[in-house]
Structure 1
Amino acid sequence: MKRKMYAAVDRLKAEISNRSQRLLAAIESSFGDLFRLNILLSLDQEGRQKLIQQFAGKYATDVNAADLEMEIEDIQIFLKHRKEKPANVVEFLGFMSSHSGLCPNLQVALRIMLTIGTSIASCERSFSKLELIKSYLRSTMGQARLQSLALMSIEKEVLDCVNFDGQ
């Protein structure tokens, strides 16, 4: 019985890892050019429209496609005439943030792209905790105890707020 449970947990962990890798690969192929500053700044009108349609189709509630296109075109012109250009996307986002109101839709798009990995990581972190518990107590624990410990570990912030003294 325990072997089947451990095999199921291992399989579930592997499937979640594969799923997150496929998701990141799909995002990269769809609109990964938002990450590549040199490509983003050199896109022609057709390339900009294609990238924006793909991105705005997925995140229509977060960005305005028409404004995003104008912002990318404006930032291309603006940075073309600057001597110092941002080296990477994070530096580019910092540059835009320091100039208040500069390209708000592009800032949102870049923030979305930069945080996708962390939103996927929270699920993987739960299974990482489960793996640590399972490995450490593998031979001495039943299913109910494993589930309880996993829940306590995953919901640590809530558990820290609980008063066990009854006061």
Structure 2
Amino acid sequence: MVDFEVVDLPETDHLEAGDTAPDFTRPLVTDEYWEDTALSELTDEGPVLLVFFTMDGAFPATYMWNEIRDRKWGSEEADDLTVVGLSISDPYAHKQLIEERGIDYRLFSDPQNGVADEYGIVNDLDGMAGVSEPRPAVFLLDEDRTVEYGWVAEEWPDFPDYDEVENAIADR
């Protein structure tokens, strides 16, 4: 039996459909290397599904990436979508998560959690003074970084309605 409490998160002023997602540059990690990359470099190539997740090693991150991997979002045979993740974990932890979970996605590293702050989705961690991470969130962005679909966790733990996200991907 999993030992945790479901906690309601405070309301946020997060991005909504129709908003323009802020651009940012952070290390983008693969299973082999990382390099500073701007979100706009990815959206210039086409639509992007930006997935904010808890720090690597936390069970919500594992569940989210297993589901995304199994649904093959952004895979060549599935669609022309680029799927990327973002959390506070450092590039070394991201590389390990990619290898252990067998995921073929790139992950932005944002240890100071500045991007989550810009997107209005900061989650201050209980019992860890001065430590925050993004709350789980999914934003489907078009080539102009306009939010076509957004979901933000309202409680912890919380997970997107994967079928709803899949429908938003298919409807674009």
User: TM-score normalised to the size of structure 2?
Assistant: 0.22
Q: Which has the higher helix share?
A: 1
> Which structure carries more strand by proportion?
2
Structure possessing the higher relative contact order (Cα contacts under 8 Å, 6 or more residues apart): 2
